[in-house]
Structure 1
Amino acid sequence: MTDGDRHGAIRDFGGLAGRAPRLIVRPASVVEVAALVRDAATTSTEVVARGCGHSSRGESLTDGVAVDMRGMATVHELSATHIVVGAGATWRGVLEATLPCGRMPPVLPDYLDLTVGGTLSAAGIGGASHIHGTQAANVIELEAVTARGEILTCSPTHRSQLFDALRSGMGRHGIITTATLRLIAAPERVLSCRAQYASAAELIAAQEKIGADHLSGQVKSSVFELKAVVYDQSRPPRGLCSIDVEELTFVEFADRLRPDVDKMIEVGEWDRPHPWGQVIVPAVHAAAFIEQTLSGTTEADIGLSGVILIKRFSPGPVPMLRAPSDAVLFALLRTASPGSKTAAQMVLANEQLYDRAHLVGGVPYPPIPEVTSAI
């Protein structure tokens, strides 16, 4: 347990604001977390769990007590069907435990250095979410500390209301301390295929009909690009007109963002503000919504290392996500680079994006939590 830095504020990946916590604590057990929450309740002090601090809107920041969950990263149990792991473990750590057994979680984040508890609290959309749903939809059981300091386990059939509140609940209904995750067979190699389309409608349609184990879409210089990945196969998916094909080991593919992150760190882009704007919209409105947004979006609105993503996916049974069943993720992963729009201008553009998405039945991603339900 350590005192917070009173001479400077802590920031998250978004970098939009800094807050100086009264106390920073790195617990090693659920008992310590529960005691901390009970103590804070006597003084009405806010308690916020923090993993790798990769939130983009300050969700992992607080003026109260910051709970650094990275001290709870133990693998408690591993079998062919599931892994029981501390919420502070990263997905990289999960893979390091499961791959020697030829197993993996059904859905992985694009960036492996995020904590299990952090992505489950947001829902966790990945390249395999069109098949398996979100990461939160693949949880078998959770252990958590509630706002009253109780240590409870929950699942789809046991304390299901708490289970549903924790998954994609953005930490406002309890602190996830341990997660039991479903496992499936892991491939040894993958075939990564790239194709290009002229419009958002064509890209979304391709994501719906192309049979692949992993699908993701990006917009690059007004070109709509699809990445379709198949596991342990020698041919591209049927119906895909690939412009290039690359064979990789599964480990190389799962950790594909590491070189990009290293480059961003090297040139200083990683430490700049990242006012990410992400929405989930119904598929029936997605193409028109995306095309309209992009028509008014310039390179200066995204930044030098900014990325635009389009992902057709199935949310699964995760009520707190509040996503339409026919979901499309549209993400403007902005970076406030030199010469680009300011972070404040990007935040304003995101607010306009959320408002427009609401009009077509869309929601922000990650969900914006209600302040009144905080721990």
Structure 2
Amino acid sequence: MVISLFCARVNVLLLLLALCSPCKFIQSPMDFGPLSFLQKTSTACVDFGRILFNSPSAVLRPQSSEDISLLLSFLSSSSFSRVTVAARGAGHSIHGQAQALDGIVIEMDALPSNIEIHKKGEGVVGVSYADVSGGALWIELLHESLKHGLAPRSWTDYLYLSVGGTLSIGGISGQTFKHGPQISNVLQLDVVTGKGKLVTCTPTKSPELFFAVLGGLGQFGIITRARILLQDAPEKVKWVRAFYDDFDTFTSDQELLISMPELVDYVEGFVVLNEQFLHGSSTAFPTHLDFTPEFHSNGSSNVYYCIEFAVHDDGSKNASTEEVVEEIARRMSHLPSHLYGAEVSYYDFLNRVRMEEMSLRSVGLWEVPHPWLNMFVPKSGIKAFRDLLLETISPDEFAGPILLYPLLRDKWDTNTSVVLPDAAGGAAEDERVLYIVGVLRSANPASCTAECLRDLLRLNRGIADAASAPGIGAKQYIPHHPSPSHWREHFGRRWERLAARKARFDPLGILAPGHGIFPRISSASSSSSSSSSL
């Protein structure tokens, strides 16, 4: 055991010597004892955004958490000050957040999935839960949990994302108003800190690390395993859409829906810029509907809005889903005759974006640049943010959905690392509501050149800066900032806590360099004042 560990450390040393050579990468695949390093691959420098392409010097495909721990332990105790490490799940980042220029990328999908489902009453925990690898995809967890009639409570719209990846961001969808984000539905985590320590943590056991890594952008540790809260899964879902030509009515009805969690299980919404946008693949409904609205209104705007909500057929309600939808619809103020519904399986509803993906792949429009912008917007600033968007977006040129729907502030644990906008100081109920707005643009290389893409990124930066200023007071979700000073501004009064957590769990700044929040420092110049064993 001692000899094996010694050999592994020597081999890692040889690897790092190679990393620091003029070649900058391993020339051929090499087996370093328990660590399987490969030469740099195209996937390690490519993400969904297709905006940045930072090549690592090496890629680690770990077979266990101990492999990751060994690597980070060596880096944190060595003098190789230039080497950084990024964990890559499904590679769905936008701005190179899972990349490590001349560093090491850990491909988390190499970890064995080993999804274990525990029904309520089977253990000491009085709830149903799943233990799942941080590199497993949510779609894999869904497949396995449904075999037991169970499913996670909170989702993202797209399920082909890694568990560790979304827990490092937040994880939101139309269920967030009811169950909170994915990071509010975690019972336990296995984490490898930047020091290489492998820690099992919960809200009461090593709580500082637990809350730091949730929404922590990979800055404090790498999630190798998570315990996810489960609930009984419905068999079917009534999926409904209602249309509006007035923004205030649209948002008022969305807030009405999230005030009825006993009836409604999912609420989202999107902006309809034009008729082609409505019938495009990114907003297509799962059943044929002869919906041909007249794109004009009594006002000057030709913009429409759509609320999308769902009711689960799970036996928990005192009426059929049809009756529940009728009851809900009577309270809404949508356009007359513009409410449509379809009954689908629970699996098909959750996996709805996969169909859109397949459609876009078929015409070569999936693997294109995605200059996305996601913002948390206080309720008090949502109309001003809508106006800002419509002033800067051309309906004829925009390609992709614009999501806009409400969340509830009290469903987010303030101990996590996620930054929400400060409450505006209005009525208590108004302070409770905030909105997520996703400007999910695609840039087709056939019509958008490199200069065009740069213009779109500058446009996003301008929108984000304007929205973050007083008057709107928004914050980025899945944040991207150009400098450490911008990051300080983003975290605001939470910066000191973030910096203290970084100093405790990753004092050398080894982890997640793609964000550009903290610089990588050498072990010789780092402070040794922390007494924590983590």
TM-score normalised by L of structure 2: 0.67
55, 58, 81: which one pairs with 1:20? 55
Residues 300/372 of structure 1: CA separation in 2 closer, same or farther (3 Å cut): farther
CA 286–3 in structure 1, closer or farther in 2 if over 3 Å, else same: same
Give CA-to-partner distance per residue, 1:222-271, whole Å, 9 cap, x none: 21101110001233151245521101111111111112101111111111
- Counterparts of 1:1-375 in structure 2 under 5 Å? 1-5=36-40, 10-41=45-76, 42=78, 43-44=80-81, 45-63=83-101, 64-72=103-111, 73-80=113-120, 81-210=128-257, 211=260, 212-221=264-273, 222-232=303-313, 233-235=321-323, 236=325, 238=328, 239-240=331-332, 241=334, 243-299=339-395, 302-303=398-399, 306-315=400-409, 316-318=412-414, 319-324=416-421, 325-337=432-444, 338-340=446-448, 342-359=452-469, 360-368=472-480, 369=515, 371-372=517-518
Native 8 Å contact 1:69 1:88 kept in 2? yes
Cα displacement (A) at 1:207: 1.5
**What's the TM-score, normalizing by structure 1?**
0.94
Equivalent AA in structure 2 for residue 20 of structure 1:
S
Deviates more, 1:238-247 or 1:7-16: 7-16
CA drift of 1:61 comes to: 0.9
Shift of 1:174: 0.7
Distance 2:308 2:520 in 1: 38
Which whole-Å CA distance do the structure 2 matches of 1:197 and 1:252 have between them?
A: 26
Moved more, 171-180 or 313-322: 313-322
Please give the alpha-carbon distance, in whole angstroms, between the structure 1 residues aligned to 2:440 and 2:381: 21
Tell me the residue number matched to 2:504: none
1:184-239 residue CA offsets vs partner (Å, 9 max, x unmatched): 11111010111012233322221111232011111122211011100012331512
Equivalent residue of 1:262, what SS?
helix
SS at match of 2:417: helix
Q: What do the CA deviations read for 1:254-298 (whole angstroms, capped 9, x no partner)?
A: 111112101111111111100101110111111221133123211
Deviation at 1:5, TM superposition (A): 2.8
Q: Distance in 2 between matches of 1:67 and 1:268?
A: 28
User: Residues 219 and 225 of structure 1 are in contact (CA less than 8 Å); yes or no, is this contact kept in structure 2?
Assistant: yes
**Percent of residue pairs identical:** 29
RMSD of the TM alignment (CA)? 2.0
Query: Partners in 1 of 2:117 and 2:211 — Cα distance?
Result: 23
Partner amino acid, structure 2, of 1:67: I
Residue 8 of structure 1, CA deviation = 9.2
Shift of 1:301: 5.6
Secondary structure class of the residue paired with 2:190: strand
Task: Measure the CA separation in 1 of the matches of 2:443 and 2:53.
Answer: 16
Q: CA separation of 1:374/1:207 partners in 2, compared to 1, >3 Å: closer, same or farther? A: farther
CA contact (8 A) 1:198 1:223 kept: yes
Distance 1:167 1:367 in 2: 15
Are the equivalent residues in 2 in contact too, given 1:168–1:367 (CA < 8 A)?
A: no
Q: Which structure has more strand as a fraction of its residues? A: 1
1:137 shift after superposition:
1.0
Asked if 2 retains the 8 angstrom alpha-carbon contact of 1:278 and 1:330, the reply is yes
Count of aligned positions: 373
Quick check: 154-163 or 89-98, which moved more?
Answer: 154-163
- By how many angstroms is 1:7 displaced? 8.2
Instruction: Answer whether contact 2:375 2:474 (CA < 8 A) is retained.
Output: yes
Measure, in 2, the Cα distance between the counterparts of 1:301 and 1:326. 32
Provide the C-alpha distance between the structure 1 equivalents of 2:160 and 2:215, rounded to a whole number of angstroms: 19
Shift, 1:3, TM fit = 2.7
Residues 228, 374 of structure 1: CA spacing in aligned structure 2 closer, same or farther, 3 A cutoff? Answer: farther
* Structure 2: distance between partners of 1:6 and 1:339: 28
Q: Give the conservation status (yes or no) of the 8 Å contact 2:236–2:345.
A: yes
Cα distance in 1 for residues equivalent to 2:396 and 2:368: 14
C-alpha contact 1:321 1:367 (8 A) present in aligned 2: no
Distance 1:9 1:108, change over 3 A: closer
Q: Matches of 1:77 and 1:98 in 2, distance apart?
A: 6
- Asked if the contact 2:44/2:99 (under 8 Å) is kept, the reply is no
Within 1, Cα distance between the matches of 2:516 and 2:48?
Answer: 21
- In structure 2, relative to structure 1, the CA distance for the partners of 1:339 and 1:70 (3 Å cut) is same
Provide closer, same or farther for how the CA distance between residues 179 and 7 of structure 1 changes in structure 2, counting only shifts above 3 A.
closer
Q: 2:44·2:59 contact (CA, 8 Å) conserved in 1?
A: no
Q: CA deviation at 1:373?
A: 7.0
| Unmatched 5+ stretches in structure 1 | none
